[in-house]
Amino acid sequence: MRIVFIGDVMGPIGQEMLTDYLPKIKAKFRPQLTIVNGENIANGKGITRALYKLILTSGADVVTMGNHTFDKDELYDFIDDANKLIRPANYPANYTPGKGFVLIKVNQITVGVINLQGRVFLDAIDDPFAKFEEIYAEIKDQCQYIFVDFHAETTSEKLGFAWSVDGRVSAVVGTHTHVQTNDARILPAGTAYLTDAGMTGPYNEILGMTKGKVIERFHTHRPVRFETPAQGPGQINGCVIDFSEQTNQAKHIELIHISPDHPFID
């Protein structure tokens, strides 16, 4: 089993990088399952139906989200039909449309994909540690593999989660900071881990937003409208993970980073 994961796609440049490179990445790595975080694909804030479809036609099997899930009201129109889209599972159960995990059949094998969101320096939604246990109890006997996109700000919450589930989950990959970390590893009990996959979007901006605006806010501390630029060089970030068919444990995790400084190599 091989899974490719691509981090937060940001605005028009992110869309372009995804449609250009995801097919090439898939041709190179030939994953059985491809997962893309789409929380920022619509100008940095949320997702539309057309962009959800764009991610799927680019080659994704599952779309994960994060704290920007509901930024575009349009999502309410199609989230119930969006079978391949999951939003953080620990949004309040009684109030939140959509679902927090999905089981995907790959040949004879079932992979559970879970989306969770951290709470440190983010909104106080439900406990991601507790919500995981709930979902895990429900799906563990139905899945050979479980992949978690843990969307969070701090390294400690992501690492805390990963060490809590080591050996029970196939892989924990973090998202949200938009910068790829260099700590990909296999934890002792067999869980693949990466603190942050990084983002897919502009290479010469900040978070994927026009850098002049971000810097203006740091200088002035006044309201500034952030924008996702439509021009300029792009990057695509993610990882590819291999799992043993015998033990279902992770065998190998490798970073994907393509940018002007690191061109794609076949």
Which of the residues are catalytic? 68
Could you tell me where the DSSP H helices lie in 86-176?
A: 128-139, 155-165
| Contact with Fe ion (CB under 5 A) among 34, 40, 170, 195 | 40
Alpha-carbon gap, residue 250 to 241, rounded angstroms: 7
What letter does residue 70 receive in the DSSP assignment?
T
| Per-position x/- string for 152-191, each x denoting binding to its own copies as judged by CB under 8 A, each - no binding | -xxxxx-xxx-xx------------xxxxxxx-x--x---
What does 40 bind: Fe ion, its own copies, none (CB cut-off 5 to 8 Å by kind)?
A: Fe ion
Q: Is 123 in the site for its own copies (CB under 8 A)?
A: yes
- Alpha-carbon dihedral angle through residues 11, 253, 187, 177, given to the nearest 10 degrees: -20
Q: Is 176 in the site for Fe ion (CB under 5 A)?
A: yes
221 is in an annotated binding site: no
Alpha-carbon gap, residue 64 to 8, rounded angstroms: 9
Alpha-carbon gap, residue 40 to 261, rounded angstroms: 24
| Contact with its own copies (CB under 8 A) among 21, 52, 91, 136 | 91
248 is in an annotated binding site: no
Contact 192, 172 (CB under 8 A): yes
Q: Which residues of 218-228 are buried (b: 16+ CB within 10 A; e: fewer)?
A: eeeeeebebeb
Contact 200, 10 (CB under 8 A): yes
| Per-position x/- string for 41-80, each x denoting binding to Fe ion as judged by CB under 5 A, each - no binding | -------------------------xx-------------
By CB under 8 A, the count of residues binding its own copies is: 55
- Cα radius of gyration rounded to whole Å, the chain: 17
Binding residues for Fe cation: 8, 39-40, 67, 151, 176, 178
Judged by the rule CB under 5 A, the positions of this chain that interact with Fe ion are 8, 40, 66-67, 176
Judged by the rule CB under 8 A, the positions of this chain that interact with its own copies are 69-71, 91-92, 94-96, 119-121, 123-127, 129-130, 153-157, 159-161, 163-164, 177-183, 185, 188, 195-196, 198, 204, 206-207, 211, 214-215, 218-223, 255, 257, 261
